[in-house]
Structure 1
């Protein structure tokens, strides 16, 4: 039976996107634990193998049933469009202990015998200590596995939001959900996720938050219950090129395709940079750099965002794929 989310009139006006570094950390840990999720992320796994080996993931492994409930308090739906990891983790640390105990018990019950293990008994007997242990582990995982790659991941997620926001503006919810994920089905006033289990929720004016994720692939995640806001986490577009790396042949071909200056700017923009910084680094006039960036952005190879008084540019997943080719 599907998971169903029923929209009212107010909910149709409150469909929004959010990006969550905490969600990416949470899902990256599950990717380490789940071979079926690893296909697109093998270059990342090879690179972070040593850092991952230094993490004791056994507490999260215990709360990772093959089929069943994963504690929502560990990774609550984001409240804003883009909070920092530290802000999101601080929110988790304020979770009420009654919620922690209830969700831990529900998750442990979905893995036969987990609640009777010594670790399971300790979690249930002292949910405050369990909360401290689990949030400390998530913080370690963020710094070891995700923080070094967050600019690249954020660019992928922001490009996905921009694409789907255009779909929503052009064709409404029907167009948005038509290609968001094969298991998402929009019919009338209801969004359904075709998956085992039964869940039905009236949105009740709270709307829906959509969260793109690189590491949730190939799953679409929903079924949040009150007090958590209605949320759907779905695989972001472009993850096939996420971990691409450049080589000499690709660099030469890129120059022939784009010209030397545009190729150099695109290659340089693995990390966010302003027009002024790029002009200084490449010895070009500001007006020339601005014109080149406009062309690259119009072609879908760059994304831009305002930070204070600056506009920062960085590559989209398409731009990364073009620069790097497939990593082998």
Structure 2
């Protein structure tokens, strides 16, 4: 079994990246009941366990069959590259009830007994009420499960988009697509996923490429017409997402730049925004902004705009300075004192 997305000439020019807080919310809900997704997310699961227990997520889980489709109206493709959750949930609330009813019925049919259940019958009898209730539940899930962590999640997702945008410029779309995930294959016209039975001609609409934290380990495609075709893939760096920085800022760098400025430069192992850095370091955004400006003027950082966000990344000089300071600050291994080439004398 395999799924295929078939490209025409115009589709190559209409592929773009996007980030969706609504998608992360829906997949966070899915992750809570998927043990195969728990591996990287243990710290997050422990933090949200008590709060998640106060949510009745059963209605959303009913529309998340292990095999089969969720309704597209419940998590439509994002409207822009950095759409806010408020804009996305407004689009859910504006769903056409009859179209939502048809998609929901198809999803319920994937779970034995769901169509005949009391909840399933009530939804299909009053789809306008169904839209309101499920939108309310998604919004509650966002507030409890995702919003408190969103600065951290957004920083990782934005770093992924920045990295893969550079790769797109370097190697082109055909080479980039298999790089997004090793399970994807490309023959010059067709992108193939090794699961499902989904096939679609993109029809000149292009493909929306979306990194996700909570979709791991899955690669997801779908969205029937008239929805925008979309490919969701695990974002880079998930393995370190919930790990608090273990190392300290090198003292040699602190002496050179000052403690907070050195901390900002050290924290930029992956590109990040001012807000994400401020959240990570516990500093005021205005202070972080000042430090970023000085570091950029010194040639240690670059700044790249993505929509309304600016991502900062180390230059080769910034990386070399950070790595060199770390080596200088590290204690010498036993027996190395006075060894030629180690700075003795």
> Under TM normalisation by the shorter chain, which class is it?
0.7 to 0.9
Aligned equivalent of 1:271 = 279
Q: 1:75 to 1:306 in 2, by over 3 A?
A: closer
RMSD value over aligned CA atoms? 2.8
2: distance between equivalents of 1:91 and 1:154?
21
1: distance between equivalents of 2:313 and 2:47?
22
Aligned equivalent of 2:95 = 95
Aligned equivalent of 1:81 = 81
2: distance between equivalents of 1:219 and 1:157?
16
**Superposition pairs of residues 187-266 of structure 1, within 5 angstroms:** 187-195=187-195, 197-247=196-246, 250-251=247-248, 254-256=249-251, 258-259=253-254, 261=258, 262-265=261-264, 266=266
SS for the counterpart of 1:51 is helix
1:184 is the counterpart of 2:184:
yes
Structure 1 range deviating more: 238-247 or 226-235: 238-247
2: distance between equivalents of 1:278 and 1:5?
43
TM-score (norm 1): 0.83
CA deviation string 1:52-83 (max 9, x = no partner): 11110010111121211111111011121111
SS for the counterpart of 1:192 is strand
In the TM superposition, structure 1's runs of 4+ consecutive aligned residues that sit over 3 Å from their partners are 256-263, 272-276, 286-292, 303-308, 310-315
1:38 is the counterpart of 2:8:
no
Structure 2 residues not aligned, in runs of 5+: 268-275, 324-345
- Structure with higher Rg: it is 2
Structure 1 residues not aligned, in runs of 5+: 323-328
2: distance between equivalents of 1:279 and 1:213?
27
Q: 1:68 to 1:287 in 2, by over 3 A?
A: closer
2: distance between equivalents of 1:242 and 1:304?
22
Cα offset for 1:287? Answer: 6.8
2: distance between equivalents of 1:173 and 1:279?
34
2: distance between equivalents of 1:307 and 1:6?
28
1:105 is the counterpart of 2:105:
yes
Count of aligned pairs between the two proteins? 301
2: distance between equivalents of 1:150 and 1:56?
22
**Superposition pairs of residues 1-328 of structure 1, within 5 angstroms:** 1-195=1-195, 197-247=196-246, 250-251=247-248, 254-256=249-251, 258-259=253-254, 261=258, 262-265=261-264, 266=266, 269-271=277-279, 277-278=287-288, 288-291=294-297, 294-295=299-300, 297=301, 305=305
Cα offset for 1:311? Answer: 5.5
1: distance between equivalents of 2:47 and 2:28?
13
